[in-house]
Structure 1
Amino acid sequence: MDKEELLQQLGIMKLRQEIFWEIVCLRGATTIVAIALYCGFVVPRSIDPILYVVAGLEILQVSMDISWYFQGKESFQVIALCSGTARIMAVVLILLFVKKPEDLSVYVFLYCGTLLLGFLSQWLYLPRYLNKGVHLHREKKNYVFPSDQLGEIVCCAGGNSGLHGSG
């Protein structure tokens, strides 16, 4: 690999890292809004508020899911290991602690909580794929982008996803 190819590869890696962290920050911001709306409108109007608060873990679960990055990098073993372990833990814990219909809140907590732990465990593998430094652009960006640009971001974030051909 000559110097020009190396510089091009480093540029792609830097761009991939910037896009990853921008998407994570955007997801974090939208998660905060979603949790605020959920706690403000859904939980107070529910019959069983504790159940709905526990079910709110689902929102956190979705926000912590970075399996899209590993799919793009074609690192399916990370996804399989983390989600498989979490699902097995969920089944075992549910069989141990859920005994009667009144344990619905326990069931929802165990199910959502173990899947959240599975998504969080994917973050442990991230340093293998991204550099440690986080450098976000400080300039204003237009985050509402057409779907064709989203395909380009997915390709850049994870390699060739097949959305824009094999080139």
Structure 2
Amino acid sequence: MIMYLIRKQISKIKNTKRLANEKNAHPWHASVFDALYLTIGIVVVGSFYTWVALDNFEQSLAYVPSWMPLVWQISDYLPFVYLGTILLFFIDKLIIMFIYIHSFILKKLMILIQKVDIWYWRRTGKEAVVTNAMWKLTGKYRSMDTKQRKMFDYMLYCGLLVFMAVRFLT
């Protein structure tokens, strides 16, 4: 049963790649990493507040029942329970949500670039300065080896994860 759910979830995640191509939300793995970041955040915050609620429940009791230490021992595994639940049932929906968000942002960004280009053209008479600069930057990125490009992306995402962890912990 559990292997069936895992295979089904993996196939759903692979199908999100097709949706990302249809919505022009590239790169696809950015949406996957964003969904994983959100999942980790939900797991950490959910576990913490579950432990806070459990502590408040224990403090409200007139006496500590004999089963309370067992509940605390079981609650140590709550992050794994939350993580497993999200990964088995909801990660594809989170990826789809981030694909739509990235698609929306990219569309608005292209509109903004066009407006800046038109504004700059009216002031100076030079055409598509911002677009050409973006095109050159994209060309440099695309001219990199695929393996090198993926390594660059993963380093960028790991740097973002470290930044978010430092901001969260301080």
Report the TM-score, using the length of structure 2 for normalisation. 0.29
Report the TM-score, using the length of structure 1 for normalisation. 0.29
Structure (1 or 2) with the larger CA radius of gyration: 2
Instruction: Indicate the structure with greater helix content.
Output: 2
